[in-house]
A and B are shown apart, each in its own frame.
Chain A
């Protein structure tokens, strides 16, 4: 089964969207966008609900007609084709398993529609792949959420699609099962090598599974790149806040020296690599991820050349592997700091004066013309 799927995969599953957009009356769900999903990649469309990610996926599947643009799959223009003629299969959010058919017939559905022979052998092999062999004669409602999810994947994969589309496939599962299924899906994708396009609002899920992530916001692709790339070099405040957590400190550029920008933020003198600043503007946000910051008592020595801000602990919460601090900085913001629990400094309780310091190379710069809280969830509400 795996070899056959691999063959299908190498047949060419590039998905190319050019100028594809969707409007409902006056409402624009997806701004005309260009996107290329390379064959064999695990591609994630990430964004909050209503950002247009599902609409984009449905346009690839043929379930939604684009208002503009074209969809190419493996070089073939499929824009005008109905779903049943496209070389793609979808795993739906609520799985949409056929309640009147057993697991075997659910999985066999696509093969039977195309009049394939030898259905039994293929279905059995596919059920083996998703480890559901013994459940072939059960009805969908007799299975747990995770098992139903695997049936949905098997039902789609058995057709050897050039592209597998996944619409929030793990949304209905509890956290533990979701983690397990993320690894499972990733394993299947690596094994069969088919292009996966995965829609999710869970940034951790996208980062765990995908090779490439397109972060969508307000019907546009905000930024596209590998997970680590997006995380380390966000191009906008939305991406900085939506992917993980960021501390954004408003600052003014005061000068530059050996590839570094020198900044002033409410009295503190800070620096960051010029290469990591996404803007030429003089008003910027200096961003730093909470885990990159070291927290220490106010009297501690700080090595020369590190960014340094003093402040007061507002809140600390112990979460096992780390302790999360909220510190009110001298510059006025509240900054988050994640500290691994190796040598916990018991003096760092709320009210304690502290100094925060980090390697300037771990800072990134964003244009201060954007909303500072875009993508935090508070801004969306």
Chain B
């Protein structure tokens, strides 16, 4: 008995004395990911950063001249594109939250196990067709003689949206509302899935406990369920807002030139105008603005305590 007790503890080898190969294992495991990031993220970023500071033209070639005023010029020329980008995506994100939260809540708490899987599959089913095809389909849905416009017209709702500037001329297509609808539709799954994961983890007994402690069902939601699901809300809004801000397909297909978002501007500069420095500068401005907003948002939401 005593003999085995003495023999056991001597097996622990301090970290620095372990064979070097074993110490390096974590780094070897990181290598593929790091290599991928360097080749496909860091290198293009540096290349784009340098492009944004070059001057010249396609015919004469571009030279790095540290021309910072490109940034200022781009920002002042396209400030309304930025405003529209963030405005449309913010509204779309709120709509996604309003549509996605009840749905995620139902899947997590109310649906039976079988229905849960069916609904989750339906949520991601749109991904089986291409983004482009789905957005084109919306063009048909919202078309001037389509059933949606006719119904809304019959209900005189289009006059209302006309009045607040979301639509113009009693039509949906080529209006801000159409772009917002497209964004909401396309990014809805990115809202639902994180919401579902965070709601699904909540112990149903917390609801019972709240009820037992005199909270009515709505108070239970306000004081218990929603605060605990906040990490999901934060993740969902980021996953919706960030890609929606940079999107250009929806504005391209469902909007008119006056609904153009910053993605459209960047695309045009890169592919049509061939003004690479301005395009690169716009990309960096977009990135910086999103980073800034996300930082403020995360601070406000106080997620570090919740996750």
Contacts and interface: CB of A to CB of B under 8 A. Distances in A.
A99 B228 contact: yes
B215 A113 contact: yes
B212 A98 contact: no
B228 A92 contact: no
Contact of B214 (A97, A99, A113): A113
Q: Name, among B211, B215, B219, B230, the residue most crowded by chain A CB atoms within 10 Å (CB to CB).
A: B211
Most buried by B among A61, A89, A100: A100
Q: Is the interface of A mostly helix, strand, loop or mixed?
A: loop
B211 A96 contact: no
B210 interface: yes
Contact of B211 (A82, A94, A156): A82
Contacts, number: 61
B205 to A, nearest CB: 4
A84 interface: yes
B73 interface: no
Interface in A295-334: none
B206 A90 contact: no
B304 to A, nearest CB: 13
Interface string A82-107: 11100011101110111110000000
A39 interface: no
A90 B228 contact: no
B214 A98 contact: no
A25 to B, nearest CB: 14
Contacts of A113: 213-215, 219
Contacts of B211: 62-63, 82-84
A83 B212 contact: yes
Contacts of A99: 206, 228
Given A98-B224, A100-B227, A100-B306, A61 B205 contact: no
Contacts of B35: none
A109 interface: yes
Given A94-B203, A94-B205, A98-B224, A89 B219 contact: no
B215 A96 contact: no
A110 interface: yes
Contacts of A61: 212
A63 B220 CA distance: 14
Contacts of B306: 100
B208 interface: yes
A341 B202 CA distance: 52
A24 to B, nearest CB: 14
B209 A92 contact: yes
B199 to A, nearest CB: 14
A201 interface: no
A252 to B, nearest CB: 51
Contacts of A84: 211-216
Nearest to A86: B212
B208 A96 contact: yes
A63 B215 contact: no
Nearest to B206: A96
Contacts of A93: 205
A198 interface: no
A79 interface: no
Contacts of B203: 94, 96
Nearest to A115: B214
Nearest to B213: A110
A281 B210 CA distance: 52
A89 B208 contact: no
Contacts of A22: none
A114 interface: yes
Given A94-B203, A113-B219, A159 B209 contact: no
Interface string A126-157: 00000000000000000000000000000110
B206 A110 contact: no
A92 B208 contact: yes
Interface string B214-232: 1110010001100110100
B216 to A, nearest CB: 6
Contacts of B209: 90, 92, 96-98
A156 B230 CA distance: 26
A84 B306 CA distance: 27
B214 A114 contact: yes
Most buried by B among A61, A96, A155: A96
Interface string B189-215: 000000000000001011011111111
A109 B205 contact: no
A137 to B, nearest CB: 13
A167 to B, nearest CB: 9
A82 B212 CA distance: 9
A141 to B, nearest CB: 11
B206 A89 contact: no
A93 B209 CA distance: 11
Nearest to B205: A96
A140 B213 CA distance: 17
Contacts of B212: 61, 63, 83-84, 88-90, 156
Interface of B: 203, 205-206, 208-216, 219, 223-224, 227-228, 230, 306
Given A83-B211, A84-B211, A89-B212, 7 more contacts: A83-B208, A88-B212, A90-B208, A96-B208, A114-B214, A156-B212, A156-B213
14 contacts: A63-B208, A63-B212, A83-B212, A84-B211, A88-B212, A89-B213, A96-B208, A98-B228, A100-B224, A109-B223, A113-B213, A113-B214, A155-B213, A156-B212
Considering the complex of A and B, which 7 residue pairs feature the smallest CB-CB distances, nearest first? A110-B213, A96-B209, A113-B214, A96-B205, A83-B211, A90-B212, A84-B214
